[in-house]
Amino acid sequence: MKRVKDKQNKRRRRKLHVRKKVNGTAERPRLSVYRSARHMYVQAVDDVANSTIASVSTMEKEYRDVKNNVENAKKIGKVIGERLVAKKIETAVFDRNGFPYHGIVKGIAEGIREAGLKF
């Protein structure tokens, strides 16, 4: 049990370290990624207005049957990218939320790039 708490605390520290430098605005939102054992969540956040511009997760009705793997992460990334491009947002800042940049997190980033967003 102690090992799990240590792992969570290390991720929190990494998250805070990154968040000191990464900020989102209405023109260039912060893309916050969270992954759990069963689901993936991506939000485009405007930190100035403290609001969410767009979001997608595997909890939504049409993506509920999606498994947690790299291929599906690219699909989820492409969906959030298309939603942002539809709102005329061309650039964003990627916030990996303390997670390592590989696997699912990297797949989400690649899907966002495929949709035409730059970061």
Domain with 102 in it: what CATH number? Answer: 3.30.420.100
Number of structural domains, the chain? 1
Assigned domain for 73 exists:
yes
Assigned domain for 100 exists:
yes
Q: Which domain holds residue 11?
A: 2-114
CA Rg value for the chain: 14
Assigned domain for 110 exists:
yes
Residue-wise pLDDT tens digits, 33-57:
999 999 999 999 999 999 999 999 9
Nearest one of 100, 86, 104 to 41, comparing CA atoms: 104
pTM attached to this predicted model: 0.87
Assigned domain for 106 exists:
yes
Report whether 80 contacts 74 (CB < 8 A).
Answer: no
Residue-wise pLDDT tens digits, 65-109:
889 999 999 999 999 999 999 999 999 999 999 899 999 999 999
Assigned domain for 119 exists:
no
Q: Dig out the tokens for 60 from the structure.
A: 């939504």
Helix (H) / strand (E) element for 111: namely helix 104-114
Q: Measuring CA to CA, how many Å separate 58 from each of 30, 73, 112?
A: 19, 10, 16
Assigned domain for 46 exists:
yes
